[in-house]
Amino acid sequence: MKIALITENSQAAKNGVIHDALTTVVEPLGHEVFNYGMYTAQDEASLTYVMNGLLTGILLNSKAADFVVTGCGTGMGSMLACNAMPGVFCGLVIDPTDAFLFGQINDGNAISMPYAKGFGWAAELNLQDCYRKIFENEGGQGYPKERAEIMATNRGILKDFKAAATKDMLSVLESVDQDLLKSAIAGERFAEYFYPNSQDEEISAYLRSL
């Protein structure tokens, strides 16, 4: 699985801690992490939580990533921005129980976490425990198990509902504020990571044209 990490400007100083916790858990499981930044609070390319959502939409809809780990101070802003994008199903994960239930019930493709609120002593251990609950278990198995079938049905309904309620990603890219879009893909490693992994030529071509 290709897992993208995105950190917004207010929490950029914690990117190293988050990245280390994520790779510690998922690399032994055979997954690959692509750190799209921000890497430090001084990065020239600055990401807001709104840009987190836009970048998440780009990565998932192009299949440059299979899963996105993002967040902000509370986790809520990034979650809302992610869920505004077509094809993105992002859960707010604060503790390992959230992570487990989101994976088993909702089986989404992105999580948003709070990196300021409640981020205290041993925060990196909580991050690792959350990532384990997401990535060590096969998603969508249901909880409790006897409700697995109805949960799968509801996920399908939600997917169809979102597809009817949102534009396709290329239309989003064409209609969104272009300066905002340019800023969202201005990270120093975006081109290095994105273009070799993208499986959508139309999205790739449009972003290159910017």
The per-residue pLDDT for 98 is: 98
User: Which CATH number belongs to the domain containing residue 48 in this structure?
Assistant: 3.40.1400.10
CA distance to 68, 117, 195, 202, per residue, from 139 (Å):
15, 27, 27, 30
Structural domain boundaries enclosing 198: 2-209
Q: Is the peptide bond before 38 cis (omega within 30 degrees of 0)?
A: yes
pTM: 0.96
Question: pLDDT tens digit string along 167-192?
Answer: 999 999 999 999 999 999 999 999 99
In the chain, which stretches have pLDDT less than 50? none
The per-residue pLDDT for 192 is: 98
Name residue, tokens 């109805």. 150
Measured between alpha carbons, how far is 17 from 208 in angstroms, rounded to an integer?
31
Name residue, tokens 């300021």. 116
The two three-digit tokens of residue 40, written as one number:
């430090």
Q: 69 has which bridge partners?
A: 5, 111
The per-residue pLDDT for 20 is: 98
Sheet holding 32-35, edge to edge: 32-35, 2-5, 67-72, 110-114, 90-92
Domains contained in the chain, number: 1
| 5, 34 contact by CB (below 8 A) | yes
| 109, 68 contact by CB (below 8 A) | yes
The per-residue pLDDT for 133 is: 97
The per-residue pLDDT for 11 is: 97
The per-residue pLDDT for 157 is: 97
